[in-house]
Chain A
Amino acid sequence: YLIKLSEKIQPQCKKLSSKKVVKSMSARQKLEAQLTENNIVKEELHLLDSQNTVYKLIGPVLVKQDLDEAKATVGKRLEYINGEIQRYETLLKDMERKSEQHREVLASLQQEYQRAQGIPVAKA
């Protein structure tokens, strides 16, 4: 019985960890999309010249921006996004490791459980 309980606990832990994994995964995907987008923006800004006025949408307002400033801003945003992505990647790795550990523990518990089952059967 104890074994059963412990086994039950294990899957729960795994599930919890897997939810986190899913969350972080989705966040990472978002960041990746932003990354590509900002890359495109950077390239397009490069195509423009200073004659064009650049605006930034802040809320309902279009705020005029300098082309160079815009370029710098976009560059910074790109770096920020890259950093976020890396952070999420490490998080995911850790979570994977944890889940694997959980799985191993679960497997061992299952084996014990089966053994325990086998012994009573033999006795019976």
Chain B
Amino acid sequence: MAGNMNANYDLPQGVERLKEEHRKVVKDCKGQITHWKKVEKDYESLQERLVTLPDKLSYDIMVPFGPLAFMPGKLVHTNELTVLLGDNWFAKCSAKQAETLVEHRKKHVKNKLDDLHKVMKNFQSRAGFTEDLEKMTNDNGDFVDIKEKVEEEEAGTKGKHRVAHKPKSKPKEEYVVQLEEEREEEEEEAEGEDGESSKRVLSEEELWARLDELERMEDEQDERDRMDSTDTNGEDTSSSSSEEEKEAEAGREAQVNGQSQCENQASVSHIVQVNGIAKPQHDEEAKEDDDEEEEGSSLPTIYFCHTVEPKKVRINTGKNTTLKFSDRKEQKQQGKRKKKNGKTNSHSIQEHHKITSPSDIYRVFVDVLNGELVPRKSILKSRSRENSVCSDTSESSTADFEERRTFFGRAQSHDDATHSDASDGITEEDSPSISLYPNGRFEAFSGTVVEKDPLPSSIPHLTIAPPALPTIPERKQEEVSSEVPQEPIKRVSKFKAARLQQK
């Protein structure tokens, strides 16, 4: 920032100097132009005199005698003129010949005048260009600030995540904590949205401190994840942790802007790890960040936030569990953020967070429960292809999330994905909807493929449509937010039924 500021200061100074020089040149040109115009005038009057001179044989004139006196005299041989040709050369010639010479000289003078005019115009245009340049630089039209805001709050919430490392107990606590966090995030987001501009005031130093804190939290989270996750998960976590770290680093590098949107950065570290999907998640997060970025820059600033992927609680459900639901916060934030990014990772996972009973867990990991008992990844994929219906975003939850992650990992920049997802998640989040979503979502897991429909619902999200991801329409899900779960009835699992009964 300092560097930019300096550059900004230098620019006006340089521009001022340039302008001064331009003005100087223009002044000189004008002076010369006036001079040559005078010369031209003289020549014209001389021409006149030459024309009239031979009219009379002799003229009575007052002859200058020295510098102070005149004497009456006569002008004779009116047709004979001694002309100075230049460089100490003289020529005797008649009036008419002299007139020709004068014409010839006038040509030269005119040429010079024209050149001077051209120079003056050039410099004037140059001055105009410098002015335009100055305006442009002031507007910073081409500059885009990329700011990443890291919320300290998340750090606080992250602390809560620290729970016993027992695999079973952890998920619940995590979910609970996550829920809390999400709520906090929601609040923060709301605040942030309202006072986006005001929040940007966060000092860089604070943000850096926050970033460090968040990174620490992430590392801790990773460790916990590792402990909980199975071998496969462990790999994921390691990868995700590394990714998280990378993201954190990236986030740090980016300027942190005061927007609350960046809050999610902290949560970014919570990489949702799905078997082998960790990477995509990062992408998603990154994408989410992109969403955030794009939003708000009053100057064109891109607020990069490591979107907090819905943490998936790792539950050892047997086969593939390790699903961490991203915090709702992330989702919420994502939803709120501009959704320029087409990629809406909208992982509706948010809803999953609410795990208050074992059934919740099953709900969350629907894919596991489905008859297929296949890793969600595969389930999603197959489902997506099978189900063309755009079920509600609920699917976007874990299942979508995973798939999206994969997609994102392939195709887009992290930012876009994360932003979109986050936004999706956020939009969906509203507390009242949460209850609905979990139900719907889980149902989605049951096999509904999240299709583009979610997109329309998710409106806030965006535009996405990650083109990169080809087959999976689920991507579009980002919608997580508003869609109404349409799950295919056939997929409803017994658990879902149980849930429905419960709710």
Chain A interface residues toward B at CB < 8 A = 34, 37-38, 40-41, 43-45, 47-48, 52-58, 62, 65, 70, 74, 77
Do A41 and B104 touch (CB < 8 A)? Answer: no
B97 within 8 A of A: yes
Compute how far the CA of A45 lies from the CA of B90 in the bound complex, rounded to whole angstroms.
10
Asked, given contacts A52-B97, A55-B82, whether A44 binds B88 with beta carbons under 8 Å apart, the answer is no
Please, which residues of chain A bring their CB within 8 A of the CB of B104? Answer: 40, 43-44, 47
Is B86 located at the chain interface by the 8 A CB criterion?
yes
Determine if B100 is an interface residue (Cβ-Cβ < 8 Å).
Answer: yes
Q: Residues of A contacting B97 with CB < 8 Å?
A: 47-48, 52
**Contact at A57–B88, with CB atoms within 8 Å?**
yes
Given A44-B91, A52-B97: 11 more A-B contacts, CB < 8 Å: A37-B86, A41-B89, A43-B104, A44-B86, A54-B90, A54-B91, A57-B89, A58-B88, A65-B89, A70-B89, A74-B87
B91 touches A52 (CB 8 A): yes
Say yes or no: is B85 at the interface (Cβ < 8 Å to chain A). Answer: yes
> Is there a chain A Cβ closer than 8 Å to B74's Cβ?
no
B38 sits at the interface (CB 8 A): no
Render B64-108 as a binary contact track against A, CB cut-off 8 A, 1 for contact.
000000000000000000110111111111000100110011001
CB distance from B81 to the nearest CB of A (A): 10
Find chain A residues with CB under 8 A from B101 CB.
44, 47-48
A34 touches B87 (CB 8 A): yes
User: How far apart are B79's CB and chain A's nearest CB, in angstroms?
Assistant: 12
Bin chain B's interface residue count.
Answer: 10 to 19
List chain B positions with a Cβ less than 8 A from chain A: 82-83, 85-93, 97, 100-101, 104-105, 108
CB <8 Å contact, B87 and A55: no
Complex contacts, A53 vs chain B, CB 8 Å? 91-92
Residues of A within 8 A of B82 (CB): 55, 62
* Contact yes or no, B108 A40, CB < 8 A: yes
Q: B87, A41: Cβ atoms under 8 Å? A: yes
A41 to B87, CA, bound (A): 8
| Interface pairs A-B: 10 shortest CB-CB | A55-B90, A57-B88, A41-B86, A52-B93, A37-B86, A41-B85, A53-B92, A54-B91, A44-B85, A52-B91
Q: For the complex, what is the distance from the CA of A28 to the CA of B100, rounded to whole Å?
A: 31
Bound CA–CA A12/B85 (angstroms) = 46
Provide the residues of chain A in CB contact with B108, threshold 8 Å. 40
B33 to chain A, nearest CB (A): 18
**B91 and A56 contacting across the interface, CB-CB below 8 Å:** no
CA distance A48 to B91 in the complex (A): 8
A77 to B87, CA, bound (A): 10
Do A55 and B92 touch across chains, with their CB atoms under 8 A apart?
yes
Contact of A52 among B86, B88, B92 (CB under 8 A): B92
Please state if A56 and B86 are interface contacts (CB–CB under 8 Å).
Answer: no
Q: A40-B105, A40-B108 are in contact. Are A56 and B100 (CB under 8 A)?
A: no
Answer whether A47 and B100 are a contact pair too, CB < 8 Å, given A40-B108, A52-B92, A53-B92: yes
Give chain A residues whose Cβ lies under 8 Å from the Cβ of B86.
Answer: 37-38, 40-41, 44
Task: Chain A residues near B91: list those with CB within 8 A.
Answer: 44-45, 48, 52-55
**Could you list 12 A-B pairs, sorted by A, with CB under 8 Å?**
A40-B86, A43-B104, A44-B101, A44-B104, A45-B85, A45-B91, A47-B97, A48-B101, A53-B92, A54-B90, A56-B89, A77-B87
Which single member of A43, A56, A74, A77 contacts B90 (CB below 8 Å)? A56
